[in-house]
Chain A
C-alpha cells in the first residue's frame, strides 16, 4: 500500500510559481500551542491525516475514537509525489500541513534535515516503542542528530529476488525457490549463477534487467553507504560503494544484463514477455509484476543475495504546524501499534515493521498463489529482519541516481568503467 511502484518517480518538484509565491510569505513556525489546551479532555479536537494512497486506516480511526471520543479525524490523500512536494511547501511556508503526515522512505532524508519543523515524539513518551521496532526502521524515524524522534514506522518494503522458473529450467538451473536461494548467498555467487545462465544458451533472454537495482541493494547492505554518520559524502572513499559498482560492471561485462532501466516500456513489457530472468524485488514490485499479467506462476520469489534488504516503507510524523500534538502523537502511536500493523497486513498486505509480528501465523504462513505459492510474508520479513541499519544521508536519492547513470553509461555507451566511476563520483560530489 504505502510503497507505490513509483520508485523512479520519487523526485518531482513544486511548480516554480507556486513555490516562489508561497515562499515569499515567510517560513516562520507557528507558536507551538498544543500542550496546554490539549490537556483538557473535553475539548473537541479535529485531526487531519495526510496520506499518499489508501492506507486502509478507516476502521482503525473508528477504533481510536472509542478511546478518544472528543477527536474527529479527517483524512486527505494526494498522489505520491504531490503529497511529499506539498509537504515541503507547507513546511517552507508555515501553513497547510496536516496534523499527521505519512512520509515514504525515498523522501525521509529530506525531512530528517529539518527536525525543527516537526514535533519531537520523544516529548510525548513514544521513545518507549523503540524495543518493538526493527532497528534500522527505528533509526530512520530519527532526525539527523540521532536523538529527536520525528516519526514512527508503519510498514517496510523487504527485499527479495524475483526469478522466472521457466527460463531457469531452459538454462539448466534449479527452479525450486529454496534451491535458487541457495545458489546466491552472496552477490559474487549471484554473478557466477548469471554466467551459468548465459552459458545455458537461453535465447532472447538476459539473466537480469539492469545493474542499477543490484548496485543499490548491495550498497544498502553495507554498514556505511553514501554518507558517513556525520553526513559527509564518502562515495569516493567507501570501499563498499566501489565494490558494488564493480559488481555492476562485472554483470555488464559478463553480459548478464538486459540493458533495461526499470519502468521504461521495454522493462514493463519484458516482465510479461520474459526478456530477463531475475530482478531485485522489493515487496511492492510483486504488484508491478501482476499488473503486467505474465501469468500465474511465471514469476517466483527467492531470497536476495547478500543478506536482507529493504526498499520503501513509510513513517508517520507530526508537523509543528498542528495544534494538537498530544492527540496526534497518540494517534501515531495507535496506528503503528502491534494490533494495528497486524490488521493492516491482513487488510492491505502492508509488511509490519515490528519483528514480533513476523512470528504471527498470519504473516509467517501466508502464501501467494500468483508466485507459485511463495511464502511472501516470510521471505520479505526475513529480508527486512536481516538488514542492518545504515545512516541515510540528506541526498542519497540524488547520489544513487548519479551512480546508476554511471553504470548505464558503461552499459549503453561503452564508456570505460574507470571513466564512468570517476564521472559518477564527480557528479555525486557536485550535489549539494
Chain B
C-alpha cells in the first residue's frame, strides 16, 4: 500500500538573500538525493526501451506496411493487415487453440498445485528436498521436455498408448486430432509449471496465521475442510496471481507445439494445434513481416485484455479481504 510520506515540518524561514546561494557540496548532495534513484532504475528502463518498448512500437509501424524482409520498398497499407487478420479464419483457429490449450493446462495445473502445496504445508522431514524437487521440472529445458513427451505420446511406440493398450484401449494418434493434441501439449506445460506454481502457493499458505488452523482443529474441522474453508479463501489473491501469470504464459505457447509437430509451422496438417505464437512464426518464416507484426499486435491486445481482467479481479478481492 503506497502511503504518502508525511510532509516534512516546515523549515524555518530563511533570509531571502541566502536562499539561492548554495555551495558545491550542497548541490552535489541535492543531485544525489534527487537523481540517484533514477540512476539506479535507469539500466532497466534503458534496456526495456531498447529491447521492449522500441520493438513494440516498431512492430506497430511494420504492421501498417506490406513488409517483406528482403524487399527494400515497404508499401504503406494503413490498417489493411489488421483487417486481413480479423478475416483470417486461421487466426481465429489459432486463437481458439491457444485458449483451449491454455484452459486445459491452467485449470488442472492450479488444482494440482494447491494440492501439492497443501501436502507440503506441514512439518515434514527433508522439507527443502521436496521443495527443490518440485522446481526441478521447471529448470529442465523445454526442448528436452517436449522431446521426451513426444515419445511418450507416440502413436506406434508411445509409452502411454502401451499402457492404454493394457486396458484394452485402441491406439490413439495423439498428434492427429484436435482434442488429443491439445491434451498432449497441455500435459507438457503442466509438467513444467505445476511445481513452480505450487511453490508460490506454498509461500502464500505459510503466511496464513497458524491460530486459524489450531482453532479449526479444536472445533473438529477435518483436514479437507480446513483446506476449503481456511486455506483457499486466505490465499485467493495469490491464486488469482497464479491464474493470470499462467494465462499470460499460455498465450505465448510456442516451443511445445512446434517441436511436438516435428517442426511443422502449421501446427499439424489441419492446424489443429497451431497456437497464436506459432501462427506469428509461420508468417515471419515466410518473411511476411507486415502481416506477422499485425498478428503480434492482435496478440498484444489480447494480453492487455487479460491483464485488465486481472486488475479488476485482484482489486475486487483485496476489497473483500479488507
Chain A residues within 8 Å of B, Cβ to Cβ: 8-9, 11-14, 16-17, 19-21, 23-24, 27, 88-89, 91-92, 110, 113-114, 117, 259, 261-266, 269-270, 273, 275, 395, 398, 401-402, 404-406, 408-409, 412-413, 415, 431-432
CA distance A83 to B90 in the complex (A): 30
B102 to chain A, nearest CB (A): 21
Q: Do the beta carbons of B59 and A269 come within 8 Å of each other? A: no
Contacts of B70 in A (CB 8 A): 88, 91-92, 110, 113-114, 117
Given contacts A92-B69, A412-B173, contact A405 B266 (CB under 8 A): yes
Q: Do the beta carbons of A405 and B55 come within 8 Å of each other? A: no
- Chain A CB within 8 A of B82 CB: no
Residue of A nearest to B52 (CB): A17
Given contacts A88-B69, A261-B262, A266-B157, contact A412 B269 (CB under 8 A): yes
Q: Do the beta carbons of B270 and A16 come within 8 Å of each other? A: no
Contacts of B270 in A (CB 8 A): 405, 408-409, 413, 415
Q: Do the beta carbons of A413 and B176 come within 8 Å of each other? A: yes
Q: Do the beta carbons of B59 and A16 come within 8 Å of each other? A: yes
Q: Do the beta carbons of B286 and A398 come within 8 Å of each other? A: yes
A97 to chain B, nearest CB (A): 12
A316 to chain B, nearest CB (A): 19
| Stretch from B38-46, B148-156, B227-235, B304-312 at the A interface | B148-156
Q: Do the beta carbons of A270 and B156 come within 8 Å of each other? A: yes
- Chain A CB within 8 A of B265 CB: yes
Q: Do the beta carbons of B156 and A17 come within 8 Å of each other? A: no
Query: Which 6 pairs across A and B sit closest by C-beta, in order of nearness?
Result: A408-B269, A412-B176, A13-B284, A405-B269, A13-B285, A11-B285
Given contacts A114-B71, A270-B156, 7 further A-B contacts (CB under 8 A): A16-B296, A88-B69, A261-B264, A265-B151, A265-B154, A266-B157, A412-B176
CB within 8 Å of A: which of B175-198? 175-177
Contacts of B175 in A (CB 8 A): 264
Q: Do the beta carbons of B265 and A11 come within 8 Å of each other? A: yes
Q: Do the beta carbons of B55 and A17 come within 8 Å of each other? A: yes
Contacts of A401 in B (CB 8 A): 264-266
Contacts of A263 in B (CB 8 A): 262-263
Q: Do the beta carbons of B281 and A13 come within 8 Å of each other? A: yes
- Chain A CB within 8 A of B29 CB: no
Contacts of B59 in A (CB 8 A): 16, 20
A413 to chain B, nearest CB (A): 6
- Chain A CB within 8 A of B289 CB: yes
CA distance A8 to B285 in the complex (A): 13
A203 to chain B, nearest CB (A): 14
B291 to chain A, nearest CB (A): 8
Contacts of B265 in A (CB 8 A): 11, 401
Q: Do the beta carbons of A395 and B286 come within 8 Å of each other? A: yes
Contacts of B269 in A (CB 8 A): 404-406, 408-409, 412-413
**Could you count the A-B residue pairs with CB atoms below 8 Å apart for me: how many are there?**
106
Contacts of B286 in A (CB 8 A): 11, 395, 398, 431-432
- Chain A CB within 8 A of B54 CB: yes
Residue of B nearest to A6 (CB): B263
- Chain A CB within 8 A of B167 CB: no
CA distance A117 to B265 in the complex (A): 28
- A12 touches which of B54, B285, B289, B296 (Cβ 8 Å): B285
Selected A-B contacts with CB under 8 Å, 17 pairs: A11-B285, A12-B285, A13-B281, A14-B69, A16-B280, A17-B51, A19-B289, A23-B58, A261-B262, A264-B150, A265-B150, A269-B154, A269-B157, A395-B286, A405-B266, A412-B269, A413-B269
CA distance A264 to B151 in the complex (A): 9
Contacts of A405 in B (CB 8 A): 266, 269-270
Contacts of B157 in A (CB 8 A): 265-266, 269, 273
CA distance A85 to B271 in the complex (A): 24
- Chain A CB within 8 A of B72 CB: yes
Contacts of A398 in B (CB 8 A): 286
- Chain A CB within 8 A of B287 CB: yes
Contacts of A13 in B (CB 8 A): 281, 284-285, 287
Contacts of B80 in A (CB 8 A): none
Contacts of A395 in B (CB 8 A): 286
Contacts of A89 in B (CB 8 A): 69
CB within 8 Å of A: which of B255-291? 262-266, 269-270, 280-281, 284-289, 291
- Chain A CB within 8 A of B253 CB: no
- Chain A CB within 8 A of B64 CB: no
Contacts of B173 in A (CB 8 A): 259, 412
- B55 touches which of A20, A261, A265 (Cβ 8 Å): A20
- Chain A CB within 8 A of B62 CB: yes
Contacts of A412 in B (CB 8 A): 173, 176, 269
Contacts of A92 in B (CB 8 A): 69-70
Q: Mark B54-94, 1 if CB is under 8 A from A, else 0.
A: 11001100100000011110000000000000000000000
B98 to chain A, nearest CB (A): 17
CA distance A263 to B288 in the complex (A): 27
CA distance A398 to B50 in the complex (A): 33
Contacts of B262 in A (CB 8 A): 8, 261-265
CA distance A244 to B264 in the complex (A): 22
CA distance A412 to B155 in the complex (A): 12
B57 to chain A, nearest CB (A): 10
Q: Do the beta carbons of A24 and B58 come within 8 Å of each other? A: yes
CA distance A117 to B69 in the complex (A): 13
Q: Do the beta carbons of B288 and A432 come within 8 Å of each other? A: yes
Contacts of B288 in A (CB 8 A): 432
Contacts of A20 in B (CB 8 A): 55, 58-59, 62, 289, 293
Contacts of B151 in A (CB 8 A): 265
CA distance A17 to B296 in the complex (A): 12
- A23 touches which of B69, B264, B266, B281 (Cβ 8 Å): B69
- B58 touches which of A21, A27, A273, A408 (Cβ 8 Å): A21
Q: Do the beta carbons of B156 and A21 come within 8 Å of each other? A: no
A110 to chain B, nearest CB (A): 7
CA distance A262 to B262 in the complex (A): 8
CA distance A266 to B261 in the complex (A): 12
Q: Do the beta carbons of A275 and B156 come within 8 Å of each other? A: yes
CA distance A89 to B154 in the complex (A): 37
- A266 touches which of B54, B72, B156, B280 (Cβ 8 Å): B156
CA distance A91 to B176 in the complex (A): 39
